[in-house]
A and B are shown apart, each in its own frame.
Chain A
Amino acid sequence: MSAASSELTVRAPEGAATPRLYGWGRLPMPGREQLSEDLERLTRGAVLSRGLGRSYGDSSLPASPDDRVAATRMANRILAFDPETGVIRAEAGLSLVELNRLFQSRGWFSPVTPGTKYVTLGGMVASDVHGKNHHIEGCFGAHVRSLTMRLADDSVVTCSPTELPDLFDATLGGMGLTGHILAVEFTLQRIPTAWILQESERVANIDEFVTALNTAAPKWPMTVGWIDCLTRGRSMGRGILMAGRWATKDEAPATPPGLGGQIALPFTFPNFAINPLTVGAFNGLYYWKHLAKRATRVVGPEPFFYPLDAILEWNGVYGSRGFTQYQCVVPRAAGAPAVREFMALLTKLGGASPLCVIKDCGPQGRGLLSFPMEGTSVAVDMAVSADTQRIVDRLNEFVISTGGRIYLTKDRFTRPEHFRAMEPRLPAFLAAREKWDPQRRLRSAQSVRLFGDRA
């Protein structure tokens, strides 16, 4: 546990002269955060809450250096747990690492988990995170029973699907702009064992991938694909599809799985470390390591859900220039050719990336700005360069033409006019903001960029 604590800090790269806050993409904004165990006191007068800083872009960064940013991670108590139903209520700073550590061995798991466990409950609500089981379970918000919130006028209220439902819906995926989340009540999922039966399959190209995801969806509660996004031509979009379900007692080993140790990245890599040659070599190895067309094995939740968490602060591999992730969803209605066209555009614009992930999403949830919609989601890491803005613009224009949208949690470069064009739900969200925060007191660097809030 001693090790577990040091990961629960948000470390700024060394040598920053003025205080700065960083998102996961390491592009900073000037500002500082305030820490306390007493979230009720801390959020009074604050304009933004921030958990473990794992959102890639600017959603957890302040609009202005003097803004009061409340860091929630010390407010991490479980307030109630019912071992009969799995209903749990906890302060917003409780992390998924801690939740897994405490409940995985007791037969409970978060109903939805993103690809990192270094997130807080408050962050999971504000991003309305999705995971490998989105096609079955929807977003995290679908499992939230109620939220305790401090609003822009400093009052504290409870909202739920039945109580102040408009506030509840605007808060799921609302990027912290509707109020400070103080406590979250949701339902844990019963698991038969803490092991996962995983089937992996080599997939030859993007068309085959879309089909494979569709075929796997009814059979497997959890699916995701890794794509080698450097390969072009007939093998464009080749990769590995991973599907899984919780293993039964007969299938699982008798001992519990590990909780995942970490090795820290010893230093920030030089900017040239991630380049087409190194990434091409890595991707080729990763693809052909999977020699058999199909393989089945029993794995722990760590390698299955959180492969990258094994390396603490892996974002350092992109060097000091920082990086971003582009994640979009192309609606099912646009068809498989649209996904192929998107992949063609992505490989042509050519951000060399070892990380490109594909996932089929289920129906859209109730969150007014929640990312997923029925269709195919693609996420790709890109080192930041002078070209990044142009690449994001081109990708966004294509996504708009398909009727799709992007994930705000990953975003730092989308233009406001593009966001408006891809978000028919935006007026409803802005109306909720107008109602609950007419002065727009609550804001972030992202809300300045996308909604024109004052800096």
Chain B
Amino acid sequence: MKTVILGGTTGMGRAIARRLAERGDQVFLMGLDEADLERSAADLSARHPSNAKVAWAVCDLEKPEGFAPALDAADAALGNFDAVIVTAAMFATQDALEADIELTRRLVTVNYAHTVVFCEHVRKRLLARGGGRLTVFSSVAGERGRKPVAIYGSSKGGLSVYLEALDHKFHAQGLSVLSVKPGFVKTGMTAGLKPPPFAGEPEAVAQSVIRAMDRRQPVLYAPGIWALVMFVIRMLPRFVMRKINF
């Protein structure tokens, strides 16, 4: 695969980029900060003797005007990419979001509206070249309206619905959409939070994401146990959801 990774400098994006680079795949990085991108590009280049210098472009999900130029740069560097992975998103706790309406506006815009816009740019390019793979990190928080993740979860819920529809609509034309729904994974994003049972490691998630992409699977819960947990949560009646704090 010739893969673009938006968010590939940190957390699960970093782990996926490394795994791809280590098997000799061509990778292109997108992220917020030039110095950070340069460091990650060097890291990926060093991981496999056949890797050419990994290229990168700044791409900020808060600035949709930058999406097309960044994707142009990726196409130029890779000679037309055939896979795109989006791990970038914003995260904030429910308390922080309730206290700051501007933060709420930014988070739902980035996680839903601008992520959809980015995916639309990608969809057009991939369909024009006969298909490809689009993998986007949504979240188990988007499965059900829940108290501790009311706002963040709703932004991911909207994204999950979009990704499902994209898969239904364009699968026959060769576009494979994978919606990844991670549970708690021990990354920089969750550092400082107390890990719940079945907390995952980024390297294990990366391995299952790449396997799911290779198999053109539409949905992936990671770690896998979350498929079962969320099935139970989806089945709970409303009066129970009102009572519990999960």
Partner of A37, one of B11, B49, B192, B201: B11
Give per-residue flags for A241-281: 1 if the beta carbon is below 8 A from chain B beta carbons, else 0: 00000000000000000000000000000000000000000
Q: Does B232 contact A (CB under 8 A)?
A: no
Chain B min CB distance to A41 (Å) = 11
Given contacts A2-B201, A4-B203, A5-B203, contact A35 B192 (CB under 8 A): yes
Which residues of chain A are within 8 angstroms of B11 by Cβ–Cβ distance?
Answer: 37
Partner of B191, one of A2, A6, A35, A88: A35
Which partner residue on chain A sits nearest B191 by CB separation?
A35
Can you show 20 pairs from A to B with CB atoms below 8 A apart?
A1-B203, A1-B207, A5-B201, A5-B202, A5-B203, A5-B204, A6-B201, A35-B191, A35-B192, A36-B188, A37-B14, A38-B188, A74-B188, A78-B47, A80-B42, A80-B46, A81-B46, A83-B49, A91-B39, A102-B22
Complex Cα–Cα for A105 and B45 (A): 16
Given contacts A37-B10, A83-B49, contact A78 B42 (CB under 8 A): yes
Main DSSP-derived SS at the B contact region: helix
Which partner residue on chain A sits nearest B201 by CB separation?
A5
Q: Does A79 contact B (CB under 8 A)?
A: yes
Query: Are the C-beta atoms of B49 and A34 separated by less than 8 Å?
Result: no
Complex Cα–Cα for A38 and B186 (A): 15
Give per-residue flags for A102-138: 1 if the beta carbon is below 8 A from chain B beta carbons, else 0: 1000100000000000000000000000000000000
Which partner residue on chain A sits nearest B19 by CB separation?
A1
Q: Does A77 contact B (CB under 8 A)?
A: yes
Q: Give chain A interface residues in 59-87, CB to chain B under 8 Å.
A: 74, 77-81, 83
Chain B min CB distance to A293 (Å) = 43
Q: Give chain A interface residues in 1-20, CB to chain B under 8 Å.
A: 1-2, 4-6, 9
Which residues of chain A are within 8 angstroms of B22 by Cβ–Cβ distance?
Answer: 102
Chain A min CB distance to B146 (Å) = 26
Complex Cα–Cα for A54 and B203 (A): 22
Query: 3 closest A-B pairs (Cβ-Cβ)?
Result: A2-B204, A77-B43, A81-B46
Chain A min CB distance to B123 (Å) = 30
Q: Give chain B interface residues in 10-36, CB to chain A under 8 Å.
A: 10-11, 14, 19, 22
Q: Give chain B interface residues in 182-223, CB to chain A under 8 Å.
A: 186-188, 191-192, 201-204, 207
Q: Does B179 contact A (CB under 8 A)?
A: no
Give per-residue flags for B34-63: 1 if the beta carbon is below 8 A from chain A beta carbons, else 0: 000001101101110100000000000000
Complex Cα–Cα for A2 and B187 (A): 14
Query: Are the C-beta atoms of B191 and A36 separated by less than 8 Å?
Result: yes
Complex Cα–Cα for A36 and B19 (A): 21
Which residues of chain A are within 8 angstroms of B186 by Cβ–Cβ distance?
Answer: 9
Query: Are the C-beta atoms of A77 and B191 separated by less than 8 Å?
Result: no
Give per-residue flags for A342-367: 1 if the beta carbon is below 8 A from chain B beta carbons, else 0: 00000000000000000000000000
Which residues of chain A are within 8 angstroms of B191 by Cβ–Cβ distance?
Answer: 34-36, 74
Query: Are the C-beta atoms of A77 and B40 separated by less than 8 Å?
Result: yes
Chain B min CB distance to A358 (Å) = 37
Complex Cα–Cα for A9 and B199 (A): 13
Given contacts A35-B191, A36-B188, A83-B49, contact A2 B43 (CB under 8 A): no
Which partner residue on chain A sits nearest B186 by CB separation?
A9
Complex Cα–Cα for A38 and B22 (A): 23
Query: Are the C-beta atoms of A78 and B207 separated by less than 8 Å?
Result: no
Query: Are the C-beta atoms of A77 and B192 separated by less than 8 Å?
Result: no
Complex Cα–Cα for A80 and B19 (A): 18
Which partner residue on chain A sits nearest B188 by CB separation?
A37
Complex Cα–Cα for A80 and B192 (A): 30
Query: Are the C-beta atoms of A79 and B39 separated by less than 8 Å?
Result: yes
Complex Cα–Cα for A149 and B64 (A): 37
Give per-residue flags for B54-83: 1 if the beta carbon is below 8 A from chain A beta carbons, else 0: 000000000000000000000000000000
Q: Give chain A interface residues in 21-49, CB to chain B under 8 Å.
A: 34-38
Which residues of chain A are within 8 angstroms of B203 by Cβ–Cβ distance?
Answer: 1-2, 4-5
Chain B min CB distance to A323 (Å) = 27
Query: Are the C-beta atoms of B188 and A79 separated by less than 8 Å?
Result: no
Which partner residue on chain B sits nearest A88 by CB separation?
B46
Which partner residue on chain A sits nearest B9 by CB separation?
A37
Other than A2-B201, A37-B188, A79-B39, give 19 A-B pairs with Cβ distance below 8 A. A1-B207, A2-B207, A5-B204, A9-B186, A34-B191, A35-B188, A35-B191, A35-B192, A36-B188, A38-B188, A74-B188, A74-B191, A77-B40, A78-B42, A78-B47, A79-B42, A80-B46, A102-B47, A106-B49
Which residues of chain B are within 8 angstroms of A6 by Cβ–Cβ distance?
Answer: 201
Which partner residue on chain A sits nearest B38 by CB separation?
A79
Complex Cα–Cα for A2 and B39 (A): 23
Q: Give chain B interface residues in 143-165, CB to chain A under 8 Å.
A: none
Complex Cα–Cα for A35 and B42 (A): 22
Which residues of chain A are within 8 angstroms of B14 by Cβ–Cβ distance?
Answer: 37
Chain B min CB distance to A214 (Å) = 40
